[in-house]
A and B are shown apart, each in its own frame.
Chain A
């Protein structure tokens, strides 16, 4: 079934490319090909596209208007104003696929999650099997792209030019990966668990998207396979029917439309672990453009970080008018214990109040009341400290724009 599905998706990806080949002067050519009776949308009926400054908002199935980075494969960013609630709505949740052959049709009658490799009892499980034969568990966890905030790196680096919206906080329900692995009986000598989804590259030569976790991590009882997101099935573009949840780790490991869990007795050899998604081997994933770190390691746990959601970038505040600064803060699995705000560019700091505690893998909303006393431009800063004592850094750069943990700032005009 997997081969058939793969070939179908590859064919679809190629077809989309072929349709793209008629690009230059394409309208005239298409008119010739289809005759003048064929209905073409007029140019301004590309109205799902809203140009707002540099941001293009588009609407995809099961999703609300999101910021378009790329359309094939799709990469869509969540507008910041959705980050005012503890849980990010499913329809506003960001999207990031690596390969153009993404699943757009899933038949639950034939879909199977294969659990195999270095095990003595390989299993082939339907979504119904996952829901009925294993104990359901749930966790609130932040999913965040490794390259979230990449566009803030200076000097700029190539890659998906994300702003702040390549993350979202959700309540995930599913089964523990440990339970599946125990049922499949992992054999001695297992070192990693390889993970793969239904997505396929447009060409055979392109490495299929795969990730690996160390076997002990995969069996920690927290890594899970989710079939629900905020009480609903996952949207297709967020990994329907099931996706991996790796609490505290960057979302590159959260394989979408997960179809294969392979226990390995050798480390997985793949571009996606060996070359991509690697960071300088030091505490803050830091290096200099002229002195790149000679050693890199696969990215893993999320860094402690915090952002402003209010005020928005272009918002103006009024003298004497009470305002509530607000935002979100996260770390990689100990939880947030403190968020501090500065209104004078970092000379003095005061504590923000923290919102609901939804668990150590959730982000934490913070708020701080402020009534500006004088007109002028204020440099606001925000920094978070985790329960494990980690805090943010003043400056950071790496070649791939990963794992941002810089203290963010925002200049705001009070009039």
Chain B
């Protein structure tokens, strides 16, 4: 029934990987809670960004959506939206390509619209899965 599935592992893995890649603490809270740091000369100001990628909504063509859309922004750009018609989602995808230069083929664009309609379309069933734990 529900086409949502909360993958907490996704969030965890992204946080862990990012921490390693960035050479930071693997504890996401360590970077979040402390103040900005400065080096000895007091001139370099730095913050360590925490990661809150959230749950990925399951739907058709998920891997295309992930490959093409999440280069520039998190999945929360979709998950925070209310439900919209296919026409609205189509125009959003077109905007990403035309205005923001997203390198998405015509075929992929159609697949992504399908995903968006499935997870946030007006015709899709209301999800039963609740908030991430």
Question: Does B49 have its Cβ within 8 Å of any Cβ on chain A?
Answer: yes
Does residue B105 face the partner (Cβ distance < 8 Å to A)? no
The reply to whether the CB of B128 lies closer than 8 angstroms to some CB of chain A is no
**Chain B 1-22 interface residues, beta-carbon cutoff 8 Å to A:** 7-18, 20-22
Which A residues fall within an 8 A CB radius of B? 12-30, 34, 38-41, 43-44, 46-49, 51, 56, 58-62, 68-74, 99-100, 104-109, 151, 156, 158, 160-161, 201-207, 235-237, 240-241, 271, 275-276
Which single member of B26, B31, B48, B52 contacts A71 (CB below 8 Å)? B52
Inter-subunit contact B73/A27 (CB<8 Å): no
Count residues of chain B with CB under 8 A from any CB of chain A: 64
- B129 contacts A by Cβ under 8 Å: no
B20 contact set on A, CB distance < 8 A: 34
Interface residues of B in 46-72 (CB under 8 A from A): 46-54, 56, 62-63, 66-67, 70-72
Residue of A nearest to B77 (CB): A70
A22-B17, A71-B76, A105-B45 known; A17-B56 Cβ under 8 A: no
Contact between A23 and B36, CB atoms less than 8 A apart: no
- A46 to B101: give the CA distance in the assembly, Å: 34
Would B12 and A23 count as touching, CB distance under 8 A?
A: no
Find out whether the CB atom of A20 lies under 8 angstroms from the CB atom of B53: yes
Q: Does B40 contact A (CB under 8 A)?
A: no
A48 with B100, Cβ < 8 A, contacts A27-B13, A71-B54, A161-B81 known: no
List 8 A-B pairs, minimum CB-CB distance, nearest first.
A205-B101, A26-B13, A27-B9, A61-B47, A19-B17, A71-B52, A72-B74, A70-B76
Contacts A61-B48, A62-B36, A70-B73 hold; do A23 and B10 have CB atoms under 8 A apart?
Answer: yes
Q: List residues of B whose CB falls within 8 A of some A CB.
A: 7-18, 20-22, 26-29, 31-36, 41, 43-54, 56, 62-63, 66-67, 70-74, 76-77, 80-82, 84, 88, 92, 99-103, 131-133
The complex places the Cα of A367 from the Cα of B103 at a distance, in Å, of 52
CB distance from B127 to the nearest CB of A (A): 13
Q: Are B80 and A108 in contact (CB under 8 A)?
A: no
Q: Given A41-B28, A59-B32, A60-B32, are A205 and B9 neighbors across the interface (CB < 8 Å)? A: no
Q: A61–B66 contact, CB under 8 A?
A: no
In the bound complex, residues from chain A placing their C-beta under 8 Å from that of B10 are: 23-24, 26-27
Q: Could you tell me if B13 and A22 are in contact, using CB atoms closer than 8 angstroms?
A: yes
Residue in A27, A34, A58 whose CB lies within 8 Å of B50: A58
In Å, the complex CA distance between A41 and B82 comes to 31
Give the CA-CA distance A104 to B49 in the complex, in Å: 8
Whether A206 and B101, one on each chain, are in contact in the complex, defined by CB atoms closer than 8 angstroms, is: yes
Closest to B89 in A: A158
Which chain B residue has the least Cβ–Cβ distance from A107?
B44
A18, A20, A205, most chain B CB atoms within 10 A = A20
Residues of chain B within 8 A (CB-CB) of A240 are 36, 45
Docked pose: A204 CA to B103 CA in angstroms: 11
Q: Is the CB of B53 within 8 A of A72?
A: yes
Taking a contact as CB atoms under 8 Å apart, the answer to whether A26 and B45 are in contact is no
Nearest residue (CB) in B for A156 is B82
Q: Tell me the bound Cα distance from A241 to B92 in angstroms.
A: 34
**Complexed CA–CA distance, A203 and B27 (Å):** 29
Task: Report the nearest B residue to A101, measured CB to CB.
Answer: B72
CB pair B18–A19 under 8 Å, yes or no, is yes
Closest to B15 in A: A41
Find out whether the CB atom of B45 lies under 8 angstroms from the CB atom of A236.
Answer: yes
Known: A23-B10, A69-B76. 5 other contacts (CB 8 A): A30-B16, A34-B20, A41-B16, A48-B28, A60-B32
Closest chain B residue to A44, Cβ basis: B133
